[in-house]
Amino acid sequence: MKISYNWLRELGNTTIGPNELAEKLTMIGLAVDSVERLGDDHIMDFDIGSNRPDCLCHLGIAREAALLDGSSLAPPPAAPIEIQEPAERAASVEIAEPALCPRYAARVVKGVRVGPSPAWLVERLEAIGQRSVNNIADVSNYVMYEMGQPTHAFDLSRLRGRKIVVRRAREEEQITTLDGFTRELSTRMLVIADADRSVALA
């Protein structure tokens, strides 16, 4: 997993340089395979073990860096503007496989237009190896890489039945992925679907 040193510094106040930080993190069990300079940034390539899912994001690594030098964390503030209409009036969520997905939360965001991402967001994602798609997909990926919280974004007007169903893929079910390829799914796979068809892999 690739981590941007500059991004880490925005989430904390570590004073340890990138190469020294990579060495110290490796010594505490977060193996850094390489550190590469990229412009004014350094990209650290981590080999994160399955026992440390908390470190599969920039905030998780920033927390570890803060512990190493006694600095503080500065996670981004979250202050969404709430409206009176509850999300469940606009859409519903059904979990058909609670053993595989015990919780799925939804939020409706209005007034959004799909378009290109700003240059800073494209550069930040590309620095860690993530291709830019559009502003909606990119901000979803940004949140995942920063906070460790995977998200999906859907156009509510295109969700049949205005609902999300978390279920296993059906026999011979297919999905077209963001790269334009149609792929056949296995019944072992968990999907996010609307009332009729899968719209994302879980």
Cα dist. 173→10, 97, 151, 176, 192 in Å?
Answer: 43, 17, 22, 11, 13
| pLDDT of 89 | 85
| pLDDT of 93 | 94
Say yes or no: 129 and 185 in one domain: yes
Q: Report whether pLDDT(86) > 90.
A: no
**Model confidence at 202, in pLDDT bands (50, 70, 90)?**
confident
For the entire predicted model, the pTM comes to 0.85
pLDDT in tens, 12-59: 989 999 999 999 999 999 999 999 999 999 999 999 999 999 999 999
* pLDDT mean over 157-184: 92
| pLDDT of 96 | 97
Q: Report whether pLDDT(107) > 90.
A: no
Domain range for 100 is 87-201
| pLDDT of 67 | 94
Rounded CA-CA distance 145/125 in Å is 9
Supply φ then ψ for residue 8, to 5 degrees: -55, -45
SS3 of residue 174 by DSSP: strand
| pLDDT of 13 | 87
Look at the chain and report how many structural domains it folds into.
Answer: 2
Mean confidence (pLDDT) of the chain? 93
Say yes or no: 191 and 116 in one domain: yes
Say yes or no: 28 and 96 in one domain: no
* pLDDT mean over 78-105: 88
Say yes or no: 97 and 192 in one domain: yes
Q: Report whether pLDDT(79) > 90.
A: no
In a domain, 78, yes or no: no
